[in-house]
Amino acid sequence: MLTPQSESSNGFQIDELAPAGDYVATCLDVADEFGVTRKKYQSEETHEIDVTRFLFGFKGQDGSLYKIQTFEMTQSTSPRAKLMVFLTAWLSHSPKMNWDYCDMIGQGAVIKVEHVTSQMGKVYAKIAGISPIKTSLNDYSQQVIPVDHFAAPAAAAQAPVVAPAPTPASAPPAFSPNDSNPDANCPF
């Protein structure tokens, strides 16, 4: 999803607090935002940056499906950038140059979810760690839930309403040269 804008959004719409714990998750979406205005580090000056977020879905221990997103990360290929650290942990190796991280949509990961309380007192879930779905010790790939299972519930189906066929306006019959015209005042 590409979004050019000057102020970044709060990310994806998530209505329910994800439970804390370790889960096998599926990458559901990636949101890129371009030209976001930010203050430079330890400065009052601003600059425009490009940022991205990842949305994951997983099945909680209660059997319910939950969604959680990453914080926004600057699109940077620096090895110290949050995005590169995140992708390296997920892939278990550094991403190749010119590789599109949007290819990770539908792919699995093992995530650690923690609850954090903001300064305003609001509790939210955050992804505290990520690792590959398959390692030399474990293979959770069979537990990855397909993206379409997390789709928004469809609106209730309604029976189709059939509009009555329009009734054509009544018109006199068309003239035919074979008709014998009973009206003597008609010039044809």
| pLDDT (tens digit per residue) in 104-128 | 999 999 999 999 998 999 898 999 9
- Give me the residues of the chain with pLDDT under 70, please: 1-9, 152-188
CA–CA dist 88, 91 (Å, integer) = 5
Dihedrals phi, psi of 129, to nearest 5 degrees: -165, 155
Give the pair of three-digit tokens for residue 139.
Answer: 């293979």
pLDDT at 153: 47
pLDDT at 38: 83
Dihedrals phi, psi of 113, to nearest 5 degrees: -105, 130
pLDDT at 21: 95
pLDDT at 49: 87
Cβ of 11: how many Cβ atoms within 10 Å? 16
pLDDT at 44: 87
Cβ contacts of 9 within 8 Å, gap of 6 or more: 3, 31, 33
pLDDT at 40: 82
CA 48 to chain centre: 24
CA distances from 137 to 84, 133, 143 (A): 24, 11, 16
pLDDT at 29: 92
Query: Is the pTM for the entire model greater than 0.75?
Result: no
pLDDT at 158: 44
